[in-house]
């Protein structure tokens, strides 16, 4: 998966616990534990050691770790081979790798998500 190699800014590092609302205008990676809402106009990556509990809104989402909550406004969601997802996904494209765990509801949309439509207002 080329997304795993895409250059991203680490927003929450390993061994870090953060809660709140994170808003980005660039690709971002979560390596630690985050509780709250993450919004980006680009890519959001949940690293293998990362965990998000809350809501994620971004055009592209790659889950390599764990996400518990809601995924909205995504054009493409990819669950890597060790991903664990619990919650609701709304996306146009969903890829679930062999070995990934998906427990929740999936709603496939037909309309592509425009990056500018993902609000990053505070």
Q: How confident is the model at residue 110 (pLDDT cuts 50, 70, 90)?
A: confident
Higher pLDDT pick, 60 / 113: 60
Instruction: Find tokens 């592209």 and name the residue.
Output: 60
What global pTM score does this model have? Answer: 0.84
Contact in structure between 95 and 75 (CB atoms under 8 Å) = no
Q: Check if the beta carbon of residue 42 is closer than 8 Å to that of residue 23.
A: no
**Residue-wise pLDDT tens digits, 5-56:** 666 666 666 777 778 898 999 899 999 999 999 999 999 999 999 999 999 9
Cβ atoms of 46 and 65 within 8 Å: the answer is yes
* pLDDT (0 to 100) of residue 30: 92
Token pair for residue 80? Answer: 């890597």
Chain-centroid distance of CA 81 in Å reads 15
Task: Give the pLDDT band (50/70/90) at residue 116.
Answer: very low
């Amino acid at each position: 998966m080329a997304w795993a190699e895409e250059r991203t800014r680490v927003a929450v590092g390993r061994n870090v616990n953060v809660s709140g609302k994170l808003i980005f205008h660039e690709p971002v990676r979560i390596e630690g534990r985050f509780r709250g809402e993450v919004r980006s106009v680009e890519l959001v990556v949940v690293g293998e050691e990362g965990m998000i509990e809350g809501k994620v809104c971004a055009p592209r989402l790659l889950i390599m770790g764990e996400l518990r909550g809601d995924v909205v406004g995504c054009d493409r969601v990819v669950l890597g081979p060790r991903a664990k997802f619990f919650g609701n996904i709304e996306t146009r494209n969903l890829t679930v790798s062999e070995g990934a765990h998906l427990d929740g509801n999936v709603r496939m949309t037909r309309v592509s998500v425009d990056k500018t439509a993902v609000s990053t207002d505070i």
